[in-house]
Amino acid sequence: MTLALPKIAVLDSSTLGKVSRDYWSPDQKPRAKARTFVEDLLKRGVFVAFTLTHISELLRHKNDEVVQDRIRFLRSIQLIAWLRPYDRTWFPGSIFDLLTRELHAVLHEPTRSWEHVIQNVRTGLWETGTGADMFVENNELWSAIREESKRQLDHEIYAASVATTYPSEIAGMKLKEMQNSPRRPKEERGDYARQSSTEMARQLDHHGDARLDRRQEIAADFMNDSLVRMQHIDALGGDPLERLLEIADVPKELLAPDTTQEEIGELAIYARRLAFLGKKLNPPQAVRMVEAPSRTLPSYVLERKLAYFQGKADRVSSSDLGDSYIAPLVFYAEGVEVDKRTCHYLKQVQRAEPTLARLMRPFFQSADYAEIPKRFDD
């Protein structure tokens, strides 16, 4: 017997905000539009999906009344689905729960193909219920989550901005070139760090999130931290490049002479992510990169490829980070709504990664939310 899976609609947080606004509008026309929209999804048996990212984006609004209205609206939805945390606790999970589930499937199933991993994860990914089940009446709970969401926004603004400042002339340097390049003398590092700090601040001004404050201070702190790390590597002795790879937990055997510094940086990011996910596994375990190489988890590959294209924009936004966390749900939902920029980037991902493209379900942008239910007609 084939297991019947629910129809999952992952809507953009901005759309959910608009529907909530109209749902409680004193004007009859927008109020009727929003309520018809909810009814149309219900008639089609479509579950509105939530992740921790959705909740954070909806609750961090500055206006208290808007937030209260959004919670009341979410509570009124009769069919919802939320990404089930890996540890099966109550609350919508995040991209990290999704990646942990994919890693679990890789480690415990005989085949590691992306298609098989997705099939294995999807059957247990979604929890379903009513809005009242999830968005309970508990002002203290939602107030605490809202405050944490606001703090998280500051981190997202910082992370999205700093990620754009990687020097292009260094990014393309190959491993064999790094091995043959003379090391910068210690007495010259301070001046170099100050020059790099000035350039980083300039890039933050031109390409970072417009809401980022203290750009020169951030650049100076970042470069000072880099100097401290270099001093630490010197103190360890031996070949500095090998020490750096050891600290980053990047296996030397995975590198080739033509591996670029940008590619090494990506492996270092994956190594940190893999260590984090390994601790979330049940039971926790240290997963070596040779056991689960960087292209093993389909959602991670899509997330990082999307981040690559996002980083090429003239001006980045903190919302890029949330978009990259939600986008992998194109493997697990019947439809994923994204904004115009993310839709453009996902099309670039499809062209760059044909194997991923074949596994991606429909994604779309919407000018009028009232038209969305039609996308889920059988």
Which tens digits make up the pLDDT trace of 335-374?
A: 999 999 999 999 999 999 999 999 999 999 999 999 999 9
Q: What confidence category does residue 145 fall into, taking pLDDT thresholds of 50, 70 and 90? A: very high
Domain boundary among 259, 281, 310: 259
Q: What confidence category does residue 2 fall into, taking pLDDT thresholds of 50, 70 and 90? A: very low
Cβ(325)–Cβ(299) below 8 Å: no
Q: What range does the domain containing 154 cover?
A: 7-161+299-376
Phi then psi dihedrals of residue 283, to 5 deg? -80, 160
Label residue 254 exposed, middle or buried (CB < 10 Å: 0-12, 13-18, 19+): middle
> What's residue 378's pLDDT?
77
- Does residue 292 fall inside a structural domain? no
What does the mean pLDDT of the chain come to? 91
Residue 155's alpha-carbon distances to 148, 161, 222, 317, in angstroms, are 11, 10, 15, 12
Q: Which residue has the higher pLDDT, 377 or 187?
A: 377
- For 25-42, b/e burial (b = at least 16 CB within 10 A) is eeeeebeebbeebbebbe
Residue 188 CA from chain centroid, whole number: 38
> What's residue 112's pLDDT?
85
Residues 51 and 198 occupy one common structural domain: no
Instruction: Report whether pLDDT(214) > 70.
Output: yes
Instruction: Report whether pLDDT(70) > 80.
Output: yes
Residue in 207, 215, 218, 222 with CA at minimum distance from that of residue 317: 207
Structure tokens at 341: 């920029």
Residue in 331, 320, 337 with CA at minimum distance from that of residue 16: 337
Q: What confidence category does residue 4 fall into, taking pLDDT thresholds of 50, 70 and 90? A: low
Residues 67 and 191 occupy one common structural domain: no
Which residue has 């991923």 as its token pair?
Answer: 356
Q: Which residue has the higher pLDDT, 33 or 2?
A: 33
Which residue has 């103190």 as its token pair?
Answer: 235
Region 166-186: mean pLDDT is: 77
Number of domains making up the chain: 2
Q: Rounded to two decimals, what is the model's pTM?
A: 0.91
Q: Which of 54-58, 215-219, 346-350, 360-364 has the lowest mean pLDDT?
A: 215-219
Residue in 294, 298, 350 with CA at minimum distance from that of residue 114: 298
Pairing outcome for strands 126-129 and 80-83? antiparallel
**Amino acid at residue number 162:** V
Structure tokens at 97: 């729960």
Instruction: Report whether pLDDT(5) > 80.
Output: no
DSSP 174: B
> What's residue 285's pLDDT?
95
Instruction: Report whether pLDDT(3) > 70.
Output: no
DSSP 93: -
Region 167-171: mean pLDDT is: 67
Domain boundary among 259, 291, 325: 259
Q: What confidence category does residue 1 fall into, taking pLDDT thresholds of 50, 70 and 90? A: very low
Q: What distance in Å separates the CA atoms of residue 189 and residue 112, rounded to the nearest whole number?
A: 45
The sign of the CA dihedral 151, 153, 154, 159 is positive
- For 68-81, b/e burial (b = at least 16 CB within 10 A) is ebbbebbbbbebbb
Q: Which residue has the higher pLDDT, 1 or 276?
A: 276
- Does residue 223 fall inside a structural domain? yes
- Does residue 284 fall inside a structural domain? no
- Does residue 281 fall inside a structural domain? no
Instruction: Report whether pLDDT(208) > 80.
Output: yes
Cβ–Cβ contacts within 10 Å for residue 317, how many? 20
Residue 368's alpha-carbon distances to 33, 120, 187, 238, in angstroms, are 10, 34, 60, 61
Q: What confidence category does residue 203 fall into, taking pLDDT thresholds of 50, 70 and 90? A: confident
Q: Which residue has the higher pLDDT, 97 or 6?
A: 97
Residue 375 CA from chain centroid, whole number: 25
Residues 152 and 30 occupy one common structural domain: yes
DSSP letter string over 225-257? HHHHHHHHHHHH-S-HHHHHHHHHT--GGG--T
Q: What distance in Å separates the CA atoms of residue 85 and residue 89, rounded to the nearest whole number?
A: 6
Residues 38 and 154 occupy one common structural domain: yes
Q: What confidence category does residue 61 fall into, taking pLDDT thresholds of 50, 70 and 90? A: very high
Residues 77 and 216 occupy one common structural domain: no
Residues 181 and 234 occupy one common structural domain: yes
Domain boundary among 229, 259, 289: 259
Phi then psi dihedrals of residue 245, to 5 deg? -65, -40
Instruction: Report whether pLDDT(204) > 80.
Output: yes
Residues 178 and 205 occupy one common structural domain: yes
Q: In what order do the strands lie in the sheet with 7-10?
A: 126-129, 80-83, 46-50, 7-10, 335-337, 363-364
Q: What confidence category does residue 224 fall into, taking pLDDT thresholds of 50, 70 and 90? A: confident
**Coil, strand, or helix at residue 332?**
coil
Q: What confidence category does residue 167 fall into, taking pLDDT thresholds of 50, 70 and 90? A: low
Helices (H), the chain: 13-23, 28-43, 52-59, 64-76, 95-108, 114-122, 131-134, 139-162, 168-171, 175-180, 186-207, 215-236, 240-248, 261-280, 298-310, 319-326, 340-352, 354-359
Residues 184 and 140 occupy one common structural domain: no
Q: What confidence category does residue 245 fall into, taking pLDDT thresholds of 50, 70 and 90? A: confident
- Does residue 237 fall inside a structural domain? yes
Structure tokens at 325: 């966390």
- Does residue 96 fall inside a structural domain? yes
In DSSP terms, 9 is beta-bridged to: 48, 335
- Does residue 270 fall inside a structural domain? no
Residues 236 and 341 occupy one common structural domain: no
> What's residue 242's pLDDT?
86
Instruction: Report whether pLDDT(161) > 70.
Output: yes
> What's residue 168's pLDDT?
62
Residues 25 and 59 occupy one common structural domain: yes
- Does residue 166 fall inside a structural domain? no
**Over the stretch 116-129, which tens digit does the pLDDT of each residue have?**
999 999 999 999 99
Q: Which residue has the higher pLDDT, 160 or 120?
A: 120
